[in-house]
Amino acid sequence: MSYPEARYLDEAGENSGIFRPASAGPDLMIGETAVHYLGTGASTGGQFGLYRWEMGPKRSGPAPHFHRTISESFFVLSGTVRLFDGKGSTDATEGDFLHVPAGGVHSFCNDSGEPASMLILFTPGAPREAYFEELGAIVAEGRRLSDAEWTDLYLRHDQYMV
């Protein structure tokens, strides 16, 4: 491994940092799950996306799936999150980490009955916010999607259910 090609070529650095205070509220609610967009593909120039995912005590999380264009990583901040790595599930707790390369089957859920939170990192920085915002609207409106509508939603957002 070596460092990638330089992307910044000026002789002097620049003031371009983006600060987000811990006190900022969630950007999105999906049922009881608060989603904080710490870094989006747009704000990181397509480098990565980073979300803080705060789940309430009710069971929540996606079924097993994979992505063709992004890798995804999960770092548990608090509580217990069941992480599935394609081979088996682990009840992950504070400090546990799972990395899933593109094509890797995975899922996560909170079925502990207690709140749990984690960081979700995906690379490169795809526009995942659109997928989660669509899910949030479906949940908030109490809509029931047909199998064809779910398939369309997943295909538009690089989500392949297993």
**Would 80 be classed as within a structural domain?**
yes
**Would 15 be classed as within a structural domain?**
no
Each of the 162 residues of the chain gets a pLDDT tens digit; together they read 999 999 999 999 999 999 999 999 999 999 999 999 999 999 999 999 999 999 999 999 999 999 999 999 999 999 999 999 999 999 999 999 999 999 999 999 999 999 999 999 999 999 999 999 999 999 999 999 999 999 999 999 999 999
**Would 5 be classed as within a structural domain?**
no
Q: How far apart are CA 132 and CA 119, in angstroms?
A: 15
**Would 13 be classed as within a structural domain?**
no
Domain holding 134, by residue range, is 28-161
**Would 22 be classed as within a structural domain?**
no
Q: Residue 120 sits in a domain of what CATH number? A: 2.60.120.10
| Rounded-to-5 percentages of helix, strand, coil across the chain | 15, 35, 50
**Would 124 be classed as within a structural domain?**
yes
Name the domain count of the chain. 1
**Would 14 be classed as within a structural domain?**
no
